């Protein structure tokens, strides 16, 4: 015999409940058209109050909010590099690099020509030819892009020097230079406490100061 509710007498089972899940609306720009997004589409995005977005292989990639440590490393590295840049060069941060029509990655720190840095008609982006050094500070949500895909994209634009910063406990900087014959980057050094280089210009960094 079963009760009117369809349960055997004495049964402790409760009817199933439907869980309401609210899914936020997907913004139109997150879904690329058949031909993909292009660099001019990236520049046209209304970014007020939005996360940083980069263009990778024709798709817009929203970037996760950075940790406090990530922000400290970026700001302190930019400041140290800018003080050591020779005439004709400047350091900048969190700027888009126009590689081609399908790619506009955002580098965490850059060393660029002073003329491009001071160009008021281009706010927040540079041509690949303006960039001497690109730096990626690796984040958990972008490890594959930072370590694999973005170096391939930077090499396509012939950016001469690429640095990668890992910072699980303390910053470690991997420096690399472009091999023009293979169009890939070769590791030139791994620095744990202090970085001293003669190229692309004399650089002396105390890595402990990057997290202060």
Quote the pLDDT of residue 123.
Answer: 80
Q: What is the pLDDT of residues 103-135, one digit of tens each?
A: 999 999 999 999 999 998 888 899 999 999 999
- What domains, with CATH codes, occur in the chain? 28-62 (no CATH), 68-211 (3.90.1570.10)
C-alpha 126 chain-centroid distance: 15
- Single out the residue of 112, 118, 109 nearest to residue 78, CA to CA: 109
Angle at 92 between CA 153 and CA 140, to 5 degrees: 55
- pLDDT higher at 72 or 20: 72
- Percentage of the residues of the chain whose pLDDT score is greater than 70: 85
- pLDDT digits over 41-67, tens only? 999 987 665 678 999 999 999 998 889
110 in Cβ contact with 133 (< 8 Å): yes
Scanning 26-163, the segments in alpha helix (DSSP H) are 39-43, 68-84, 114-117, 143-144, 150-156
Nearest to 128 by CA among 156, 90, 152: 156
């Amino acid at each position: 015999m079963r009760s009117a509710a369809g349960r055997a007498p004495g049964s402790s089972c409760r009817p199933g409940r439907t869980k309401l899940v609210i899914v936020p609306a997907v913004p139109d720009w997150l879904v690329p058209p058949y031909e993909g997004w292009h660099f001019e589409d990236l520049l046209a995005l209304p970014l007020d109050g939005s996360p940083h977005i980069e263009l990778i292989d024709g798709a817009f990639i929203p970037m996760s909010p950075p940790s406090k440590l990530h922000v400290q490393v970026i700001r302190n590295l930019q400041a140290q590099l800018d003080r050591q840049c020779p005439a004709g060069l400047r350091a900048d941060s969190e700027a888009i690099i126009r590689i081609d029509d399908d790619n506009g990655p955002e580098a965490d720190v850059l060393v660029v020509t002073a003329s491009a840095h001071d160009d008021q008609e281009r706010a927040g982006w540079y041509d690949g030819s303006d960039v001497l050094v690109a730096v990626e500070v690796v984040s958990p949500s972008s490890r594959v892009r930072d370590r694999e895909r973005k170096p391939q994209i930077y090499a396509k634009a012939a950016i001469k020097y690429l640095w990668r910063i890992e910072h699980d406990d303390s910053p470690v900087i991997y420096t690399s230079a472009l091999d023009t014959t293979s169009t890939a980057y070769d590791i030139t050094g791994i620095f744990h406490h202090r970085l001293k280089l003669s190229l692309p210009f004399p650089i002396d960094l105390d890595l402990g100061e990057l997290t202060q």
